[in-house]
Amino acid sequence: MITVLSILVGVLFTGATFCLLRRSLMRLLIGIMLMGHGVNLLLLATSAPISREVAILDKNGTPLENAADPLPQALILTAIVIGFGLSVFTLVLARACYLRNGHDDVREYGKEEVR
């Protein structure tokens, strides 16, 4: 499972980096979202009980073997909620930029009127 997750995280980050290096608004948005998903999966991978002592005890106080650590899942939920809000905001911002400029090329965004 951890191998699959690692490969998936790698693929997502590769895709995200590729998209973030493009000039189109939409690609940038997709890149940011892919990166968010990659990070969430990375967090999920850290809940696997491989490197630490067990996280959960049963009611006799004996450790539950193979129980996943629930805390990273709480972190992921928080990250998903924040990521969702920010994605929506970025979408609105990108739409406003697109409507004002009539194109979705970000090349001119750093250009100044006063040099």
Answer for which of 5, 8, 20, 67 binds other proteins (CB under 8 A) is 20
For tokens 């409507």, the residue is: 99
CA distance 78 to 62: 30
- Of 33, 32, 52, 43, which Cα lies nearest the Cα of 9? 43
Which helix (H) or strand (E) segment holds residue 26: the answer is: helix 25-45
What phi-psi label fits residue 41: left (phi over 0), alpha (psi between -120 and 50 degrees) or beta?
A: alpha
Measure Cα distances from 76 to 36, 62, 70, 72, 97 in Å: 10, 28, 10, 6, 30
- In whole angstroms, the minimum distance from the beta carbon of 96 to other proteins comes to 5
Site string for other proteins, 25-44 (x = CB under 8 A): x--x---x--xx-xx--xx-
**Per-position x/- string for 67-106, each x denoting binding to other proteins as judged by CB under 8 A, each - no binding:** --x-xx--x--xx--x--xx--xx--xx-xx--xx----x
Rule CB under 8 A: say whether 54 interacts with other proteins.
Answer: no
Q: Is 4 in the site for other proteins (CB under 8 A)?
A: no
Binding site for other proteins (CB under 8 A): 20, 25, 28, 32, 35-36, 38-39, 42-43, 45-47, 51-53, 69, 71-72, 75, 78-79, 82, 85-86, 89-90, 93-94, 96-97, 100-101, 106, 108-110, 112-115
